[in-house]
Chains A and B, each alone.
Chain A
Amino acid sequence: MQVNLRIRRFNPEKDSKAYWGEFNLNDVDPTDTVLDVLNRVKWEIDGTLSLRRSCAHGVCGSDALRINGSNALACKTLVKRLGSGDSVKIQVEPILGLPVIKDLIVDMEPFMAHYREVLPYFINDSEPPENGRERLQSQEDRMRFDDTTKCILCACCTSSCPSFWANGQYVGPAAIVQAHRFIFDSRDEGAEERLAVVGDAFGVWRCRTNFNCTSACPRDIEVTEAIAQVKKVLTTGEI
């Protein structure tokens, strides 16, 4: 099949503003991914195209892009899902709300700064069990935060959120998902500190429940549900 590819281009050393670059590719397999198509452009047509990618299998989360208008991982999006017939139009842009460094690469530091704000690590200063083994947890307790352990920090959710576009100080869905993962962990003792971060003016109350994050998540995390659960903890005081 043929692919007409529009890519948002921007080179800070040459361009005063971003523009659309157009590429036509023939003999694209319908089961090729958008990352395969972008790689063909970079390797065969224009080596100056800049994009971030690593594992190419939906694990590392480095190729989050805005594909045909909504966020997704380029390596998990098949060309055949973007259109049928002999010719498919694909539009690729960098994710929103983060500064563009070059072409499809954005500066992830503001996103990572919010991730660090929620203390995304296990906090427990009490003595470990006397037998020297691990802190035990029931299967039911483990399942409470099972969904939010799947996050790969790709930023698909945070950069799909209009509240984050409007104000970059909002911690964003990904940071709240990380906070949820530890707040609901029965072995963790840092919930109070994390709830103070996600409960302030730039925390969960900026969520407008529009479900863009849930739709964009390549790991199918129920992000909006996790945010609502944190909101509920803040209003009821019960974890």
Chain B
Amino acid sequence: MSNLVLTIRESIRYRGRSGHWSWVAHRISGLAILLFLTIHVWDTANAHFAPNVYQWSVDVFKWPPVAIGEIPLMAAVLYHAFNGIRISILDYKPELWKHQKKSTQITWGLFLIIFVPIGIYMAYEMVHYWQELGDAWMKFPRLSDY
């Protein structure tokens, strides 16, 4: 446990360069995706074992404080994918290490170019959906209603 605390604390304190911060972002985005997948496997399994719980969880995903989390989730998936490709290329072509700083910049650039319009579109659609719900937009769905 102490190693875990040390690793988390020092990963933030260590003054690494672009590769270090890409690694930190890769880990955070990976953990975010893992958390989502764990929840996702659970709620999808409910479609078979407890359909009412499945329907409830789908509505919970539409509840604003949870729904808004889909935007950083999309960011995590996109960054993790692009950076994963970058790391794989550097592992298979070791001689390209000289371009690693530029490769991190390209990765962040690609991520921003693709994520920003998607993020704006997701936010727009969410706000539109909540407007249609009227006063009930922040009402948390109760499991007992399903």
A contact set with B: CB distance below 8 Å: 68-70, 96-97, 160, 162, 165-168, 208-212, 214-215, 222, 224-226, 228-229, 231-232
7 more contacts with CB within 8 A, not counting A69-B13, A211-B17, are: A96-B14, A162-B10, A210-B19, A212-B14, A224-B97, A228-B94, A232-B94
Q: Which residues of B contact A70 (CB under 8 A)?
A: 14-16
B22, closest chain A residue (CB): A210
Q: Which residues of A contact B17 (CB under 8 A)?
A: 211-212, 215
Q: Which residues of B contact A162 (CB under 8 A)?
A: 7, 10-11, 14, 23
* B87 touching A209, Cβ below 8 Å: yes
B contact set with A: CB distance below 8 Å: 3-4, 6-7, 10-11, 13-20, 22-23, 26, 87, 90-92, 94-95, 97, 100
B contact face: mostly helix, strand, loop, or mixed: helix
Q: How far is the CA of A116 from the CA of B7 in the complex (A)?
A: 25
Contact A210:B23 (CB < 8 A) given known A96-B10, A225-B95? yes
Contact A211:B19 (CB < 8 A) given known A160-B14, A228-B91? yes
* A160 touching B7, Cβ below 8 Å: no
* B6 touching A222, Cβ below 8 Å: no
* B15 touching A68, Cβ below 8 Å: yes
Closest Cβ–Cβ distance, residue A216 to chain B (whole Å): 9
Contact A96:B19 (CB < 8 A) given known A212-B14, A222-B97? no
* A210 touching B10, Cβ below 8 Å: no
Q: How far is the CA of A9 from the CA of B87 in the complex (A)?
A: 38
* B94 touching A225, Cβ below 8 Å: yes
* A231 touching B91, Cβ below 8 Å: yes
* B16 touching A165, Cβ below 8 Å: no
* A166 touching B97, Cβ below 8 Å: no
Closest Cβ–Cβ distance, residue A215 to chain B (whole Å): 5
Q: Which residues of B contact A166 (CB under 8 A)?
A: 3-4, 7
* A167 touching B3, Cβ below 8 Å: yes
Q: Which residues of A contact B20 (CB under 8 A)?
A: 210-212, 215
Cross-chain contact of A165 among B6, B92, B95 (Cβ < 8 A): B6
A166, closest chain B residue (CB): B7
7 closest A-B pairs by beta carbon, nearest first, are A69-B15, A211-B19, A228-B94, A210-B23, A70-B15, A166-B7, A225-B97
Closest Cβ–Cβ distance, residue A162 to chain B (whole Å): 5
Cross-chain contact of A228 among B10, B13, B15, B97 (Cβ < 8 A): B97
Show 19 A/B contacts (Cβ-Cβ < 8 Å), sorted by A: A68-B15, A160-B14, A165-B10, A166-B7, A208-B23, A208-B26, A208-B87, A209-B23, A209-B91, A210-B16, A211-B18, A214-B19, A215-B17, A215-B19, A222-B97, A224-B100, A225-B97, A228-B90, A232-B91
Q: How far is the CA of A162 from the CA of B22 in the complex (A)?
A: 13
Q: How far is the CA of A185 from the CA of B14 in the complex (A)?
A: 35
